[in-house]
């Protein structure tokens, strides 16, 4: 066999080897993806209806501000996280969606509670908050946290993934509340709950009057389960049962609530 022929055979062998190696690499990567917590579930995320299908809120929307409430120690001293965990019955193995997670105040406190068998899905619309949160999660070595970038009208969370969705000190900043609440429903398990923490203040003052909150949630088919004032701060925790996907009101039938 001539030198040129040997080179051709050798080249063909290298190509075949490279193809086999590439196939093995793809197969290993695919298998690894299936074993990652929530990887298959995340692929089931579906886009929600556009904001244009829903009424705009008939009240002011607060500007998005720093996600840290003064400082985290002050927030801890008020005892808010402990009250939320107790009132919601958050425990090991649950999947919690933190909608508007910001700097991750609740993410880092709830991740150890839900444990390795549970999961925290941290969502926000602000890329700079998510960059900071990714670094915080990495530095703390949290393995049960997934970070998602949503949109003002759609949190883009995995279908059927959540036991509880929490919206903490951010509801007044939601520019498209009817769309977001509607598009949140598919991510919720059948017995899931939605928990909203906000201040007793008008929306421009970074709170939501309770009657306005009840009206907006009811417009999308949510039913109130409980309402508790949180000692230590001028805030409350309102817990709602979501409608089923099929039981949601039609967007064109929704009427925006007015501030009273």
Q: Mind listing the pLDDT tens digit for each residue in 200-254?
A: 999 999 999 999 999 999 999 999 999 999 998 899 999 999 999 999 999 999 9
Question: Alpha carbon of 26 to those of 19, 44, 55: distances in Å?
Answer: 11, 21, 46
- Tell whether 126 and 29 lie within a shared domain: no
Lowest mean pLDDT among 5-14, 32-41, 195-204: 32-41
Average pLDDT over residues 83-102: 97
- Tell whether 124 and 148 lie within a shared domain: yes
Q: Is the pLDDT of residue 30 over 80?
A: no
The answer to whether 62 and 203 are in contact (CB under 8 A) is yes
- Tell whether 31 and 70 lie within a shared domain: no
Q: Is residue 190 part of a domain?
A: yes
The answer to whether 183 and 81 are in contact (CB under 8 A) is no
Domain count along the chain: 2
Q: Is residue 40 part of a domain?
A: no
- Tell whether 129 and 173 lie within a shared domain: yes
Q: Is residue 260 part of a domain?
A: no
Q: To the nearest 5 percent, what fractions of the chain are helix, strand and coil?
A: 40, 20, 35
> The domain containing residue 8 runs over which residues?
1-35
The percent of residues above 90 in pLDDT, for the chain, comes to 74
Instruction: Grade residue 73 by pLDDT with cuts at 50, 70 and 90.
Output: confident
């Amino acid at each position: 066999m001539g030198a040129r022929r040997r080179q051709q055979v050798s080249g063909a062998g290298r190509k075949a080897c490279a193809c086999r190696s590439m196939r093995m690499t793809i197969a290993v990567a695919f298998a690894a993806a299936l074993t990652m917590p929530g990887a298959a579930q995340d692929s089931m995320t579906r886009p929600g209806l556009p904001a244009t299908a829903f009424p705009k809120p008939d009240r002011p929307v607060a500007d998005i501000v720093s996600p840290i409430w003064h400082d985290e120690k002050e927030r801890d001293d008020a005892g808010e996280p402990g009250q939320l965990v107790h009132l919601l019955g958050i425990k090991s193995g649950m999947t919690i969606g933190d909608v508007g997670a910001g700097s991750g105040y609740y993410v880092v406190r709830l991740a150890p509670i839900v444990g390795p068998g549970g999961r925290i899905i941290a969502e926000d619309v602000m890329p700079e908050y998510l960059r900071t949160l990714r670094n915080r999660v990495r530095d703390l070595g949290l393995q049960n946290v997934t970070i998602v970038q949503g949109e003002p009208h759609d949190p883009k969370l995995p279908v059927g993934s959540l036991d509880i969705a929490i919206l903490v000190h951010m509801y007044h900043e939601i520019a498209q509340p009817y769309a977001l609440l509607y598009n949140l429903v598919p991510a919720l398990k059948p017995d899931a709950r939605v928990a909203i923490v906000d201040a007793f203040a008008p929306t421009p003052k970074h709170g939501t009057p309770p009657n306005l909150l009840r009206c907006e949630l009811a417009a999308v088919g949510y039913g109130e389960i409980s309402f508790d004032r949180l000692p230590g701060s001028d805030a409350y925790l309102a817990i709602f049962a979501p409608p089923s996907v099929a039981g949601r009101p039609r967007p064109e039938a929704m009427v925006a609530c007015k501030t009273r």
